[in-house]
Each structure stands twice: as structure tokens, then as C-alpha cells.
Amino acid sequence: MSTTTQDAPVEDEAHHDEETNYLNHDTGIWSWLATKDHKRIGILYCISLAVVFLAAGILALFMRAELSAPGETIMGNETYNQVFTMHGILMVFLFLVPSIPAILGNFVLPMQIGAKDVAFPKLNLASWYVYMAGAILTIAALLTGGVDTGWTFYTPYSSTTGGGVLWMTAAIFVAGFASIFTGLNFIVTVHKMRAPGMTWNRLPLFIWGIYATSIVQVLATPVIGITMVLLILEQTMQIGIFDPALGGDPVLFQHFFWFYSHPAVYIMILPAFGILSELIATFSRSRIFGYRAIALSSVAIAMLGFLVWGHHMFVSGQSAISSIVFSLITYLIGIPSGIKVFNWVATLYKGSIWLQTPMLYALSFLFLFTIGGFTGIMVGVLAVDVQLHDTYYVVSHFHYVMMGGSVVALLGGMHYWWPKITGRMYNETLGKIAAGLVFVGFNLTFFPQLVLGSRGMPRRYANYAERFAGLHELSTYGSWVLGAGLFLILGYALWSLAYGEEAPANPWGATTLEWTNVAAIPDHHNFKRTPLVTRGPYDFHLADEVFGGGDGEALGDDVPRIPEPAPSAPTEDDTAASASA
Amino acid sequence: MAHDGPHIVPKSVLLRVFGGLIVLTILTVAVAYVPLGPLGVPVAIGIAAVKASLVVLFFMHLKYDNPVNALTFTIGTIFVIVFVAITLLDTAFRGDLGNVNQRTVQEIQAEQERAEQRNEALPADSLRIAPADYPDQERGASMSTEGGS
Amino acid sequence: MATETAPAPTETDGAHDHPAHLEHHFVSSKQQFDSAKLGMWVFLITEVLLFSGMFVAYAVFRQWNPEVFVAASNTLDQMWGTINTVVLLTSSLTVALSIHYIKQDKVKQCVYYLLSTLGLAGVFMVIKYIEYTAKFEHGIYPGAAFDPHGAHYEHLAGMAAAPQFFSIYFVMTGIHGLHVVIGMLVIGAIAFMAWRGSFSSEWYTPVELTGLYWHLVDIVWIFLFPLLYLI
């Protein structure tokens, strides 16, 4: 082993403290485009994904506007088909799949485990460029006639229709590599880059969530790659694997597609679970209940998630025996998900709950995800699904999970880590108002859709029968409230960049390393000295010992006690000496 | 594992493994000429799996390597098996829903009512409820005959 | 596993006696090597799952049309297939030997065996070319252009799933061949770097990773050969 001894000049630290951080140590557009710093790559992803989310969100508002009344209101049927397709593709493949790992995972993960960077910084940058290439191909698909296949690309329609389908499938193939690169990087980083003392049992739960996600990304994404390749070959050379007119089997395409796309659902929700564990623990000021159960249930969900893809295909004509097996395994997913919700609620119990904006999102998540989960079990029931398949019930179910789960958790996480990312505080009052608007708007939009679906309103139609009009109108109003909330967030987030109050190093009194051992705006290399981890991730009691108090009454509600930083790791000299002793 | 210089697989081991791979290749070609009937495919895949294991363990160094690498590869292999096996669970039994019928439930009921009217006392054995009671399955037959056998 | 991570030095840029190959965010060469290797294994399972899709397609269509697959498989040239298997197995041995030698600082032998691997990969591609052209001459194309003719092939013309067999054959061997070509480019670059003296027993990570990749290409062929040519 090579020895890496060197002296740490003490005067360097003062120099580092105030002046240089990861944002200003190097400036200019090229320093961003060629950066290998995980924090800057996280921000690059954040900007790209915000643009995609804005575009796809505006498409959603257009869809709701079209559906506000029966008949044609603002767009024709063909346009509507393209709009809902693009909404789905952008949201799923270009926003939700990368969202939390690529933004917050990139920014937070190395800091939480006490590493200087991810294991492969160049690959990390390559991931963003590959993602952008996928985005450009998506634009090419729009320019070459657009896509109206739905985000699922079912054959034979997708293999015989022209337009931009070829470009779109190529875009998804390419964007898949961005996901693989991120997942690969995180797996290796968690295995090999942890700070001394950071054992698996001391990993923050966000890391466990991201780690489980990465496993799914690595195992599932190649399959969508080969699916898209075969679909492209089907379109260009008519290879006859999926097209029934040529002797192929369209249901086989659905197997291929859902072998990726069902686990992809867990790519979207598992990191959200991770964020939620952080938020609940920090803002309840209590050690997380059932640490190991939460950590391992993430891995269990990741694994079980691979065995249930066929529950999307109950009415596709697959064999009844496989439908039954898929339905039974689908119920099993409810167990680890339930374990998590139970543990979060138990963490809240007798906690010292601090209702800051991130916590409001965490509580929203608990409510919305529970609805999403229960409706999921319902559509997983074989007989019930035959009635509910392809109705607004399903639409509402997956919006409760994807939007009410993933996006709400992402918003909570963004607020939580915003001070660390930007060094500024957002406006707490506006934050709370926006959280309220999102919660109310979301439920107003999607709860009526549950009712619509159970009454038989089919998805993917621009028009509907008169009897559905009332609920659709309500849903459209809800979408405006939801949109207002999201635009408010965009507004005060931009405002805080320029005028926000400067953030302290640990505004929430959190206990994980990125708060306790990193400057208010992180240093280029994250840590002044590599931390030596000596305690679990949510040890708020240690803080009590250090600062007295103990029952949370000595200090006011909005003055959190700051846990002490972890000590520095011994240098190589020390370890060499102790090892030889 | 102590890391005093890299672990080196001895040349003799590499050459013996290579010899084994060549022997297995000859074996698998030879076996292809033996009429094994339904055992042909499992035997061929079994030999291929042994060959692949030799490559993974010795050429790819996994026998001497960090266990986490072996775990990684094992998980990947398991999920390939899951993908193949569960997809075949569908395609092998495609069309097993015996009562798939071209006619709607209403049509069937109407027909039964007509039959009822024809012969007032309906014999008990014509109350058909189980899937196997419906032999009329043009759709199922066209999809499943090859796969189901 | 907790022992994988070693204490990190305090952060100061420059002015340390790091080996040239050690990147700043790693603590030790061992950590860097282990990370690279785990990363490679993770990449390899993505490759395995990429190929798994084609194996699923093969399994499904074979299950539905066993006789057609046997008939179509018999039109493939078993002799070339067997030779190609031996060629790839040998190239796996040579690449393993090149790693064997670089670990002992025997750069010359390492380069020699890498070039042998490159040569064998070239032989594999040439044989594949001979096989492909023999098929194309008789109208055996993937997809819509499938139009078998000639003594050995015309009985396939009426068979229901014969186009599927050859579509799968061409896609599988085509993507495998693409991996061989990529492997050749990488091995060529690695051989050049080794010749320039970039690697030693201290640092040979790229050689090791290239070897792993090449063995995986071999493993895929180990399964493709019996499935397509023999059974």
C-alpha cells in the first residue's frame, strides 16, 4: 500500500474558511461544464431537470385545461395524444428516474459518508453529458413529428407508426446510460469510499435509499436499453420479434418494457424514502425508530420490485397462472413499504416535532404515499384490476406515488439541503404557504380522479362523457392550485439565491456529516479533515449531553441544538504507528 | 486480505483451465450429435454454465477476489434467471384461461335461456361452470397449442 | 467490509508523494484499484442483463417453435462455429496471460499476449464475416428482407418462425460482434500504452479491467454457440 503522508499546514484552514468554497474556488462557464466536483454536477443536473420538470408540468396544465370540459376546448385529439405522451416520457424518463439520485444523491451522498468525491468523478460528469444527449434526441423527436404512443411504446403501434418514435426510443436508450453511470458510481462509492468509522450500520438512511436505488438502476436499465434497440430494429428492419403481423409477440414487448419500467418505479420512490427518513429524524429531534428495518426494507423492495412487473399486464393476454403469481408477489411489496411507514410514524411519536417547511413536505408525503400505496395494492388485485385497468384510477394511483411520493419528497429534500447547496435560506413563510398549496392542490387534482376511474373514466382520452364533467372540472381547478404552489417555489427559490439570508453551517441541528463537519457552503473537497465517525447517524442524545438541556425545553423551538462535529480521522502516520504497535 | 503485491494466478492453472475449456467445447459439440431428446437443451446449457464458471473463477480471478465482486456477479446472474424464468411462465402457459370466449357473457346467457326454454327441465350436468366446461376456444387454441405441449 | 476504507489524509493539494496514477479523492492505490474493479464488475452485470433480453427472446420463440429452430439452426455452419469458439477461448487465455505477466513487471510478454488477443479477435471477426456473407448470398437476412433460396436453405422459406430465428441470430451475434470490435479497439489502445511503459506491477488497472471485459465477451459466446449452432 502506498503511504500518503504529508503535513497539514494549519494556516491553510483559516484561508479556506471564509473565502473559498466549491462555488467560487474556480469560476467561468468552463469550470462548470468540465467540473468533476460531485456538488457542481448535482447542480448541473438540478438546472437541467428543473427545465424538464417545468416543460412537462406545463404540458400537464394544458392537458387539464383540455379536460376541463367535455368536447374540444383548447386542443384537438391528435395534439392531446402527443401532449400526454410527452408529459409521460419527460416526467418518467427524463425527470423522475434521474431526479433525486442525480441532484441530491450527487450533492449529498459523498458528504454523508465522509468522502471527498464519488468514486468515478469523470464518469459522473459523463453521466450528465449523456443525459443531455438524450434530451437533445428528445427534441429531435419533437421536431420530426412528435410521439403519440404513450410513454409505454406498446407494439405494434409504436413499431409501425412513423413520426419521432425512432428518435424518442434512441433518446431513451441513450438516457439510460446516464442512469447506469450514476448507479454504478454510487454503488462503488458506498462500498469503497466511506470515511473511517462509517460502518454499514452508521450509514444515514438516505444513503441506504440511494444504494438500493442504484442496485435497481444497474440491474434494470440495461433491459430497457436492449428493448429500445429491438424496437428500433423492429421499426427499421422489421425483425418480427414484437410485431404480430410479422409473427412476433406484442406481449413479449410488454414483458421487456415492464421488466425495466416496474423496477423504475422503485428507482423513483426508493430515494424518496431515504429523504423522508432524514427529514423525519431531524425534525422530530429523535433517533429514527427501527433503523435496520428501514435500511433493509429498502433493499427488500429493490429486490422484490423485480418480481412483479407482470401486474401491469393483467389484461394483456398473458397466461392466467403468471397473472396469479404476479398478483401474489405484488401484495408482498406492501410489507416492506408498510414497515417503513410504521417506523416513520413511530419516530414521530414523542418526538419534538419542528414544523419547518421540509417537515411539512415529509408529513404530506406520509399521507399521500399511504394513499398511493393502498390504491396500489388495490390495482394489484387481479380481479379488481380488470375493472380498473387503463382508467383514471390507475392514473391517480401512480400520481399519488410519483408526484405525491417522489416529487413531494424531492421538494422536501431540496428545501432541507437548500442552505447547504446555495448557502442561503429560503423564505420560511412562503415555503410553508407553498407546501400548503402543493398539498391541497395535489389532492384536489388527483382525488377526484380516483373517483372518476372507479366509475369507468378511461385514461388517455381527450374527450369524455357528460357525467364525468363535474369531477374533471374539479381536477382542473386543483391543477391550477398545484401549479401556483410550484411556481411560488420557483419564485422564492430564485429570489433567495440573490437576497436570501445567509445560512449557518447547520440550520436544522441535523446530525449527519454534511451538516456537522462541512462549512456552510461546502469546501471544494467537502471536508477540511476527513471525519472519524464514532456514532450512529441520528444520535441527537449526544448533542443533549454536550449542550445540557436534554428535554428540549431549555431552548426555544426555532433554535435547534447543534450536534458536535465528528472528530478528524488520524493521519496515516498515526495509523501506521498504531498498526505496528 | 493482505495486499502484499497483487495475487497472481499461476500459469499452470491458466493452462489447465484452458485445457478444460477446450475439452468441454469438444464435449458439447459431440453431445449435439447424440439424440438426447428433451435433455439436449439442459445438457448443452449445463456444459456452457460449467465453462462460464471456469472462465469467471480463474480467468476473471473471482475465486481469489474480493467477495463483494462475486456477490455482484451472482446477483446479476440471478436476475437474468428471474427474467427468463418468469417470462417463460407466461409464454409456456399462454392461453390457459380456458373460458376465453368470442361471445360475451350476455350472449352466452341468452343462449342458455333459449336452451332452457327449449327443454324445460334442464339436466344438472349441463350447468357448466368450470373453465374446462367451455371447449369452444378458437382464440386460446391458436395461441397455445405449440407452447402448451 | 468496514475495513475497506482507510483513513484519509488531510486535504491539501499538491506537495504530496502520491504515485502519479493515484487520483486525489482516493486514499490509497488499493482503494482506487478495488473501486475500479468493483465498478467494472457492476458494469459487467449491466452487460449481462443487456444480453439477457436477447436470450429471453430466443427462449420464448424457441419454446413456441422448437422444430423450426432446430431446422434453422442446422443451416448454420457448425465447423466455423466451433473454430470461433476455440479462437475466443484462446484469446481469453492470452489476455489472462497478459495480466499474469504485467503483475510480474514483464511488460514485453504482456504486450505480446495482448497483441495475440487482438489477432485472435481479428480472426473471430473474419470468420464471422465469412459466415454472414454465406448467409446473405442465400437471402438469409434479418427481418423483412428474409428470402431464403439455394439448396441448403429453401426449405426455410415456408416456415413460420424461421425469420424470427435469423433475426435473433443476427441481432445476438451482431451485438456480440460489436462488443468484440469495441474490445479490439480497447485492447489495441491498452497494448500501445503497455508498450509505451505505462503499466507495471504497481499499476495495471486498465489491463485488468480490459481483461475482465474480454472474458465477459467470451462468456456470452460460450452460451451463444450451443444455443444457436448446436441445439
DSSP state of A338: H
- Per-residue pLDDT tens over the stretch A301-354: 999 999 999 999 999 889 989 999 999 999 999 999 999 999 999 999 988 899
For chain C, which chains pass the contact test of at least 3 CB pairs under 8 Å? A, B
Q: Do B89 and A223 touch (CB under 8 A)?
A: no
Handedness of CA A452, A148, A86, A89 (dihedral sign): positive
B146 to chain A nearest CA, in Å?
Answer: 14
What is the rounded distance in angstroms from the CA atom of residue B117 to the CA atom of residue B126? 14
pLDDT at residue A420 tops 80: yes
Residue from the list C34, C42, C89 with its beta carbon closest to the beta carbon of B21: C89
B19 to chain A nearest CA, in Å?
Answer: 33
Longest dimension (CA), chain C: 75
pLDDT at residue A263 tops 90: yes
Residue from the list A1, A320, A325 with its beta carbon closest to the beta carbon of B97: A320
Q: Do B14 and C97 touch (CB under 8 A)?
A: yes
CB–CB contacts below 8 A, A to C: 185
pLDDT at residue A82 tops 90: yes
What radius of gyration do chain B's Cα atoms show?
Answer: 28
What is the rounded distance in angstroms from the CA atom of residue A267 to the CA atom of residue A288? 23
What is the rounded distance in angstroms from the CA atom of residue A119 to the CA atom of residue A2? 18
C203 to chain A nearest CA, in Å?
Answer: 11
pLDDT at C147: 86
Contact list in A for residue B87 (CB cut-off 8 A) is: 252, 255, 259
**Is A66 inside any structural domain?**
yes
Q: Do C93 and B15 touch (CB under 8 A)?
A: yes
Q: Do A4 and C52 touch (CB under 8 A)?
A: no
**Residues forming a β-bridge with A288:** none
> Domains in chain C, start-ordered, CATH in brackets?
32-230 (1.20.120.80)
What is the rounded distance in angstroms from the CA atom of residue A368 to the CA atom of residue A404? 5
What is the rounded distance in angstroms from the CA atom of residue A375 to the CA atom of residue A396? 9
The pTM score is: 0.88
- Average pLDDT of the residues in A263-277: 95
**Is A404 inside any structural domain?**
yes
pLDDT at A565: 81
Tens digit of pLDDT at every position of chain C (231 positions): 333 444 444 444 444 456 788 888 898 888 999 999 999 999 999 999 999 999 999 999 999 999 999 999 999 999 999 999 999 999 999 999 999 999 999 999 999 999 999 999 999 999 999 999 999 998 888 888 888 888 788 888 888 889 999 999 999 999 999 999 999 999 999 999 999 999 998 899 999 999 999 999 999 999 999 999 998
- Per-residue pLDDT tens over the stretch B22-62: 999 999 999 988 888 788 889 999 999 999 999 999 999 99
Q: Do B91 and A319 touch (CB under 8 A)?
A: yes
Quote the crossing angle between the two packed helices A357-380 and A320-348, to the nearest 10°.
Answer: 150
Contact list in A for residue C49 (CB cut-off 8 A) is: 219-220, 222-223
pLDDT band at A574 (very low <50, low <70, confident <90, very high): low
What radius of gyration do chain A's Cα atoms show?
Answer: 24
pLDDT at A6: 40
Contact list in A for residue B146 (CB cut-off 8 A) is: none
Contact list in B for residue A321 (CB cut-off 8 A) is: 89, 93, 96
Nearest chain C residue (CA) to B36? C231
Residue from the list A4, A115, A255 with its beta carbon closest to the beta carbon of C18: A4
**Is A17 inside any structural domain?**
no
> In chain C, where does DSSP find H-type helix?
29-64, 66-74, 78-102, 107-137, 162-195, 205-225
What is the rounded distance in angstroms from the CA atom of residue A184 to the CA atom of residue A221? 11
What is the rounded distance in angstroms from the CA atom of residue C171 to the CA atom of residue C163? 12
In A251-375, at which residue ranges do the beta strands (DSSP E only) sit? none
- Per-residue pLDDT tens over the stretch C112-163: 999 999 999 999 999 999 999 999 998 888 888 888 888 788 888 888 889 9
pLDDT at B121: 55
**Is A21 inside any structural domain?**
no
- Average pLDDT of the residues in A415-443: 96
Q: Do B25 and C204 touch (CB under 8 A)?
A: no
A252 in contact with chain B, both atoms CB, cutoff 8 A: yes
Q: What is the ipTM of this complex?
A: 0.90
Contact list in C for residue A247 (CB cut-off 8 A) is: 160-161, 163-164
- Grid cell 449435439 in the structure block, residue: B32
Q: Which three cell numbers stand for residue A3?
A: 503511504
Nearest C-alpha neighbor of A123 from the set A102, A95, A99: A102
- Average pLDDT of the residues in A540-554: 51
B81 to chain C nearest CA, in Å?
Answer: 9
B67 in contact with chain A, both atoms CB, cutoff 8 A: no
pLDDT at B132: 61
Residues 6+ apart with CB under 8 A from C199: C102, C107, C110, C193, C206, C207
- Average pLDDT of the residues in A454-473: 94
For testing the chain A interface, which of C13, C30, C34, C35 should be mutated: the one with the most A CBs within 10 Å? C35
**Is A95 inside any structural domain?**
yes
Q: What is the CATH number of the domain that holds A193?
A: 1.20.210.10
The boundaries of the domain holding residue A389 are 31-570
**Residues forming a β-bridge with A526:** A523
Residue from the list A192, A247, A256 with its beta carbon closest to the beta carbon of C31: A192
What is the rounded distance in angstroms from the CA atom of residue B111 to the CA atom of residue B113? 5
User: CA A373 → CA A184, A325, A330, A337, A482, distances in Å?
Assistant: 29, 20, 11, 8, 21
pLDDT at B4: 55
**Is A158 inside any structural domain?**
yes
Q: Do C201 and B76 touch (CB under 8 A)?
A: no
Mean pLDDT of chain A: 90
B127 in contact with chain A, both atoms CB, cutoff 8 A: no
pLDDT at residue B76 tops 80: yes
Residues 6+ apart with CB under 8 A from B60: C211, C212, C215, C216
Q: What DSSP letter does each residue of A200-261 carry, written as one string?
A: GGGS-HHHHHHHHHHHHHHHHHHHHHHHHHHHHHHHHH---SS-GGGT--HHHHHHHHHHHH
Q: Do B89 and A191 touch (CB under 8 A)?
A: no
What is the rounded distance in angstroms from the CA atom of residue A155 to the CA atom of residue A244? 9
A345 to chain C nearest CA, in Å?
Answer: 31
Number of domains in chain A: 1
pLDDT band at A573 (very low <50, low <70, confident <90, very high): low
Q: Which three cell numbers stand for residue A441?
A: 392542490
Q: Do C56 and B84 touch (CB under 8 A)?
A: yes
Per the model's pLDDT, the better-predicted residue between A1 and A219 turns out to be: A219
For testing the chain A interface, which of B1, B90, B134, B145 should be mutated: the one with the most A CBs within 10 Å? B90
Contact list in A for residue B143 (CB cut-off 8 A) is: 317
Contact list in B for residue A259 (CB cut-off 8 A) is: 83, 87
Contact list in C for residue B65 (CB cut-off 8 A) is: 37
Q: Do B73 and C45 touch (CB under 8 A)?
A: yes
Q: Which three cell numbers stand for residue C106?
A: 514483464
pLDDT band at B133 (very low <50, low <70, confident <90, very high): low
Nearest chain B residue (CA) to C97? B11
pLDDT band at A24 (very low <50, low <70, confident <90, very high): confident
> Among residues of chain C, what percentage have pLDDT more than 90?
72
> Would you call A274 helix, strand, or coil by DSSP?
helix
pLDDT at B103: 77
Residue from the list C38, C215, C231 with its beta carbon closest to the beta carbon of B32: C231
Contact list in C for residue B147 (CB cut-off 8 A) is: 63-64
Contact list in A for residue B79 (CB cut-off 8 A) is: 219, 306
Residues 6+ apart with CB under 8 A from A348: A280, A284
Nearest chain A residue (CA) to C51? A226
Nearest chain B residue (CA) to C95? B59
Residue from the list B45, B59, B66 with its beta carbon closest to the beta carbon of C215: B59
Nearest chain B residue (CA) to A324? B90
Q: Do C226 and B91 touch (CB under 8 A)?
A: no
Contact list in C for residue B68 (CB cut-off 8 A) is: 1, 38
pLDDT at residue A23 tops 70: yes
B90 in contact with chain A, both atoms CB, cutoff 8 A: yes
> In chain B, where does DSSP find H-type helix?
11-32, 40-54, 67-92, 105-118, 138-148
pLDDT at C92: 96
Q: Do C63 and B88 touch (CB under 8 A)?
A: yes
For chain B, which chains pass the contact test of at least 3 CB pairs under 8 Å? A, C
**Amino acid identity at A466:** E
- Average pLDDT of the residues in A178-203: 95
- Reading phi first (left if > 0) and then psi (alpha if -120 to 50, else beta), residue A501 is in beta
B3 in contact with chain A, both atoms CB, cutoff 8 A: yes
Residue from the list A191, A215, A310 with its beta carbon closest to the beta carbon of B90: A310
C22 to chain B nearest CA, in Å?
Answer: 16
**Is A19 inside any structural domain?**
no
Quote the crossing angle between the two packed helices A428-454 and A392-401, to the nearest 10°.
Answer: 150
**Amino acid identity at C59:** A
Contact list in B for residue A314 (CB cut-off 8 A) is: none
Nearest C-alpha neighbor of A210 from the set A132, A136, A298: A298
Residue pair A500/A494 in contact by the 8 Å Cβ criterion: no
pLDDT at residue A572 tops 80: no
Residue A339 burial by Cβ neighbours in a 10 Å radius (0-12, 13-18, 19+): middle
pLDDT band at A463 (very low <50, low <70, confident <90, very high): very high
**Is A578 inside any structural domain?**
no
Q: Do A5 and C9 touch (CB under 8 A)?
A: yes
A308 in contact with chain B, both atoms CB, cutoff 8 A: no
